[in-house]
Amino acid sequence: MKVAVLAGGRSSEHDVSLASAQAVSEGLRAGGHEVLWVEIDRDGHWSSQGARLSLTPGEGLLGADVVFPVLHGPFGEDGVTQGLLETLDVPYVGAGVTASAVCMDKVLFKNLMANAAVPQVPYAGVPDERWRRAPAQVLAELEALGLPVFVKPAHLGSSVGIVKVSQPDAIGSALDQALAHDELAIVEAMANGLEVECGVLGRSDAERIADAAPAFASEPGEILLPSGSEWYDYQAKYTEGGMELLVPARISPTARERVRQLAVDTFVHVGCEGLARVDFFVDGEQVLVNELNTMPGFTPTSVYAKLLGASGVSYPGLVERLCRLGLERHEARRAYRY
């Protein structure tokens, strides 16, 4: 296959995307595929081989068979780029426009999970406009969550802008910090138990004939933080030695199966395709969904690749399979008249 790999992007996760996309490119080349590197700078300009790209609706992207958008955060993982790729009429890897947008908005995602009766931690969304207009009322409402809480920008990943708050008088400044990144913040009650993550990989049409399950869930892995780390922050995620992934997670067989089933259920509820990483809190037999990431970190040492590797899927095999799933989806949708 000829695969256009999209890297970089306008979000604060630009550098993480570059590292992920480089690894995806190496994995594709190891599988015998041709890679077309497309880099998006921090201002949103697209270029390939040093030349700016001009894109025309309906004419694809550089003659690629499929596009692998290895983009994290806003303007790449939130449906914006997926919509552009749909306009270009080119197959692409991963979630479509709707699922990408839903999962990038932590408040909307949790609202949908609540509607589907998926177990999760208590939370509240705080729009920037409301915080400026009625701060006292917002703080009074947040008291129901107790302490400590985590305050986050609603549309960012990689733990950017997150603050753990243990004192009531610190919530305001934490909201100010989160809302400096985003127009919407989310405040979540602290969950007890282990942080557990599970990779989900879509099944092809042929596989679903033999097994009706819409996706495969990996062996769950447990996030182990170094001594002194209170939570899974940016440094823990992207600094060498900042965390350790333990596979399999130290949870009961019942909790393990609950994690795997909820991972697939969550994937289906939001209409995901191709891949996802679903994050959980597990306390004994209680399993709570935290969030779903439609394009997780993608280096061979990233959690998603490690989880799939521990479940029997090699890195080159993983990236090739995702491209073929994107091709299959594109072909299937062309059969509809809309």
Q: Are 201 and 308 in contact (CB under 8 A)?
A: yes
293 is catalytic: yes
Strand 194-202 and strand 221-224: the pairing is: antiparallel
Catalytic residue among 27, 73, 123, 238: 238
Catalytic residue among 158, 218, 302, 311: 158
Catalytic residue among 182, 219, 279, 320: 279
291 is catalytic: yes
**Residue labelled with tokens 């004419």:** 59
Catalytic residue among 9, 73, 202, 297: 297
3-class SS at 109?
helix
13 is catalytic: yes
| Closest-CA residue to 98 (of 214, 264, 325, 271) | 271
| Closest-CA residue to 242 (of 320, 297, 181, 175) | 297
Residues 6+ apart with CB under 8 A from 73: 9, 11, 12, 13, 17, 104, 155, 156, 157, 158, 160
d(CA 236, CA 335): 45
238 is catalytic: yes
Residues 6+ apart with CB under 8 A from 69: 6, 76, 81, 82, 85, 92, 93, 94, 295
Catalytic residue among 12, 293, 302, 311: 293
39 is catalytic: no
3-class SS at 125?
strand
Q: Are 114 and 107 in contact (CB under 8 A)?
A: no
221 is catalytic: no
Q: DSSP character for 70? A: -
Catalytic residue among 13, 105, 182, 188: 13
Catalytic residue among 10, 256, 258, 277: 277
158 is catalytic: yes
Tokens found for residue 299: 């280096």
297 is catalytic: yes
Catalytic residue among 105, 188, 291, 320: 291
Phi, then psi, of 192 in degrees rounded to 5 = -85, 170
d(CA 56, CA 64): 14
Tell me which residues are annotated as active site. 13, 158, 238, 277, 279, 291, 293, 297
